[in-house]
Amino acid sequence: MNIWELDATQIAAGVRSGQFSAEEVAIDVLHRVEAVNPSLNAIVESSAERTIDAARAVDEALAAGAEPGVLAGVPLTIKVVADEAGWATTNGVRLQQKQIAAQDNPLVFHLKAAGGVSIGRTNTPAFSLRWFTSNRLYGTTRNPHNIALTPGGSSGGASAAVAAGLGAIAHGTDIAGSVRYPAYACGVHGLRPTPGRISYFNATAPARGIGQQFMSVSGPIARSVADLRLALGVMAQGDVRDPTWVPAPFEGPQVPRHAALCTHPAGLNTHPRIVRALEDAARRLRERGWQVTQVENVPPLREASVEHIYLWMGDGFDSRMAKALKEEDPGALATLRGQRELVANMDVARFSEALTRRLSMLREWQLFFDRYPVLLMPVSSELPFPDELDAKDEPSYRRVWEAQIPLIGTAFVGLPGVTVATGVEECVPVGVQVLAGRFREDLCLKAAADIEADGFKPRVVTPEFV
């Protein structure tokens, strides 16, 4: 087995034991990047010299008897939305090419301090606005399973990189499914934590708007649930630069192993293959001691999705549109124009109403999770979309947003969730979503691990179009 095929836990153990050095890991993965990335375009900025220097530092620490960190030598990628010293925090737009970071974002700092080795920076749609990954600065990222499908977005480069063996762990961000959906589309696992769990601060940019503060998070993408857990433990360390960080325990109180299964939330017409994946996941949970109860519906998702758009796009819509017009990115413009009628004239009263409804809906979710500690439901009601579907025409745009209600509505109330890859058939990945109450990532990961056990395990894929 090539080193680039190994999971993060395996690589860290191998480096610690002396099976191979961190430098050998880095060189092996860089060769994989050289062979695959030109066709994939997942990593858009990198420096082999910096990567090898970082790996050598891990080896030197080990040789000196120092603690190298739990990610000793693990190759990882950082999305271009997060500050990484010496790189531009572009967010996929030409307007920010000169926005060079002088210091690492807290999560980047923690990943590197734990011995992680940055391989490069991954692509995102312009302004990170879509579930598709293309922009005028870097171009289009391809899905390594199927060039006709979206790799997802906005963390499309991150998920494509993990799926193709360009690093064992990837950093992603999620405000409306941008970790969970690309993980789903690329056949890997992705974790959206509770807002406040992972410290975040970009010195290159002003503070995030109110809507983003409530809903936007960073999270890990990996090929195993164990790697998600490992990465979360590192990324979730506090930092004084982020006053919203919450020192919540990683393990919450014990609760009954009781999960709800909802195959058609919000009345969605869930694809039959997704329904089968959900039913199989429920079976696996039952086999491992879970009680699984099928429910017809869950707290309001459709209404939450509308309120989410008010907080996300309505907050500073005119400024956002002006930047998109200046960037001239067709995908970003299509996304904003598609919601303009809803949010362009939003006033303070409507914004306040959205915040009020958020609290009421979150209360409903807390009551739901008091009865069912875990929820199993679709990531999306459709299989991964044809690439660029949202920009095709108005009906296609609406189709995409309808299918993503399970992602948008849960982000609105700040729930943690894990996308669990459950299979790939005819080059089309499928997966399920596991959700729990606020700061109960531990429950999401426990259920995800039970679904993964003795079932589908993501393996590195070499794109046929390389």
3-state secondary structure the chain: CCHHHCCHHHHHHHHHHCCCCHHHHHHHHHHHHHHHHHHHCCEEECCHHHHHHHHHHHHHHHHCCCCCCCCCCCEEEEECCCCCCCCECCCCCHHHCCCECCCCCHHHHHHHHCCCEEEEEECCCHHHCCCCCEECCCEECCCCCCCCECCCCCCHHHHHHHHCCCCCEEEEEECCCCCHHHHHHCCCEEEECCCCCCCCCCCCCCCCCHHHHHHCEEEEEECCHHHHHHHHHHHCCCCCCCCCCCCCCCCCCCCCCEEEECCCHHHCCCCHHHHHHHHHHHHHHHHCCCEEEECCCCCCCHHHHHHHHHHHCCCCHHHHHHHHHHHCCHHHHHHHHHHHHHHCCCCHHHHHHHHHHHHHHHHHHHHHHHHCCEEEECCCCCCCCECCHHHCCHHHHHHHHHHCHHHHHHHHCCCCEEEEEEEEECCEEEEEEEEECCCCHHHHHHHHHHHHCCCCCCCCCCCCCC
Residue 462 forms part of a structural domain? no
Residue 228 forms part of a structural domain? yes
**Total domain count, the chain:** 1
Residue 460 forms part of a structural domain? no
46, 128, 134, 154: the catalytic one is 154
Range of the domain at 290: 3-304+338-452
Residue 466 forms part of a structural domain? no
- Catalytic, 39? Answer no
pLDDT at 167: 98
CATH number at residue 289: 3.90.1300.10
- Catalytic, 79? Answer yes
128, 134, 178, 224: the catalytic one is 178
Residue 331 forms part of a structural domain? no
- Catalytic, 154? Answer yes
pLDDT at 287: 98
Q: Look up the pTM and report it.
A: 0.98
pLDDT tens digit at each of 466 positions of the chain: 899 999 999 999 999 999 999 999 999 999 999 999 999 999 999 999 999 999 999 999 999 999 999 999 999 999 999 999 999 999 999 999 999 999 999 999 999 999 999 999 999 999 999 999 999 999 999 999 999 999 999 999 999 999 999 999 999 999 999 999 999 999 999 999 999 999 999 999 999 899 999 999 999 999 999 999 999 999 999 999 999 999 999 999 999 999 999 999 999 999 999 999 999 999 999 999 999 999 999 999 999 999 999 999 998 899 999 999 999 999 999 999 999 999 988 899 999 999 999 999 999 999 999 999 999 999 999 999 999 999 999 999 999 999 999 999 999 999 999 999 999 999 999 999 999 999 999 999 999 999 999 899 999 999 999 8
pLDDT at 1: 81
Residue 198 forms part of a structural domain? yes
46, 79, 323, 381: the catalytic one is 79
pLDDT at 79: 99
Residue 263 forms part of a structural domain? yes
Residue 410 forms part of a structural domain? yes
